[in-house]
């Protein structure tokens, strides 16, 4: 049996466990980053070891790559895979149209590239990630180190004319030094409160000199798998508008939980 997980970890595991059912042998799969995606990688590793599932994984961060290799998943770079059948990733927020804010871990640049190089994207999340309007979670914007202060000032200027509730922009830190992404860039966090027009904001931000990419994922997610603290999962499909519920059996082999101590 699974160890005594908190309700939030139970929800993450349930979503991840259900999502890997969509992976079939021979697929090239984008492997997301973050705590929920880590559960997904562990569940995929279990299928690789116990079912002999043969897949190729394309990780979206160095941390995910290390975890996938440890789980026995074959890992290649996107340049080698070229196009993917499926990407499974977490999110920081999602709205009724399955638009997302991602980048809480600072990997949204790679995550967006991998997701858009896939036939479909499945997002896994606990129920708390669902919002009526995007923006409560700070929106990450990746910028090059050179002139990041100028990029920040330009972003603050354009926010004045956009439909957002707040306009504070902060440089993400890691201890006493600026956070650095896997690509060697800085992250600016936009504390907006509420985003009135996410599509417009995404387009405008990417026109700012020095901005590499923002954390708004618009029209990229195809399906979301929502986990609940009691083991229930809800599947929503944006194309069909359908929604269905399932429940995860937690009588899982203990090796999925080995690294939880």
Residue pLDDT tens, the chain, 261 long? 356 899 999 999 999 999 999 999 999 999 999 999 999 999 999 999 999 999 999 999 999 999 999 999 999 999 999 999 999 999 999 999 999 999 999 999 999 999 999 999 999 999 999 999 999 999 999 999 999 999 999 999 999 999 999 999 999 999 999 999 999 999 999 999 999 999 999 999 999 999 999 999 999 999 999 999 999 999 999 999 989 999 887 765 455 655 554
Q: Which of 232, 49, 221 is nearest to 41 (CA)?
A: 49
List, in sequence order, every residue forming a beta bridge with 170; answer none if it has no partner. Answer: 189
DSSP for 211-248?
EEEESEE-S---EEEEE-TTSEEEEEETTT--EEEEE-
Domain ranges of the chain: 7-129+219-260, 139-214
Annotated binding site: 33-36, 89-92, 102-105, 129
pLDDT at 261: 41
Q: pLDDT value at position 1?
A: 33
Backbone angles phi, psi at 13, to 5 degrees: -65, -45
3-state secondary structure of 48: helix
**Could you check whether 7-129+219-260 and 139-214 share the same CATH topology?**
no
Q: Using CA atoms, how far apart are residues 229 and 3, in angstroms rounded to an integer?
A: 14
Topology classification of domain 7-129+219-260: Rossmann fold (3.40.50)
Write down the CATH superfamily of domain 139-214: ACT domain (3.30.70.260)
Angle, alpha carbons 28-257-37 (nearest 5°): 35
Catalytic residue ranges? 111
CA atoms within 13 A on the CB side of 122: 26
pLDDT of residue 4: 80
Q: Residues annotated as binding site for substrate?
A: 33-36, 89-92, 102-105, 129
């Amino acid at each position: 049996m699974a160890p005594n997980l908190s309700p939030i970890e139970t929800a993450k595991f349930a979503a991840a466990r259900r999502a890997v059912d969509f992976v079939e042998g021979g697929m090239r799969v984008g492997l997301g980053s973050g705590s929920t995606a880590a559960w997904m990688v562990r569940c995929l590793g279990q299928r690789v070891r116990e079912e002999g599932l043969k897949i190729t994984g394309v990780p979206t961060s160095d941390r995910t790559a290390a975890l996938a290799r440890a789980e026995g998943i074959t890992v290649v770079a996107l340049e080698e895979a070229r196009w993917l059948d499926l990407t499974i990733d977490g999110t920081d927020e999602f709205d009724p149209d399955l638009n997302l804010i991602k980048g809480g871990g600072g990997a949204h640049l790679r995550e967006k590239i991998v997701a858009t190089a896939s036939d479909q994207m499945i997002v896994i999340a606990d129920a708390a990630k669902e919002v009526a309007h995007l923006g409560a979670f700070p929106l990450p914007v990746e910028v090059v180190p050179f002139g990041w202060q100028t990029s920040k000032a330009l972003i603050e200027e354009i926010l004045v004319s956009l439909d957002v509730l707040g306009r504070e922009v902060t440089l993400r830190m890691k201890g006493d030094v600026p956070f650095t992404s896997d690509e060697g860039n800085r992250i600016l966090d936009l504390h907006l409160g509420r985003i009135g027009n996410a599509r417009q904001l995404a387009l405008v931000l990417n026109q700012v000199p020095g901005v590499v990419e923002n954390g708004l994922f618009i029209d990229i997610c195809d399906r979301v798998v929502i986990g609940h603290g009691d083991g229930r999962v809800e599947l929503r499909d944006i194309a069909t508008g359908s929604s269905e519920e399932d429940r995860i059996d937690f009588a899982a082999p203990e090796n999925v939980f080995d690294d939880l101590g």
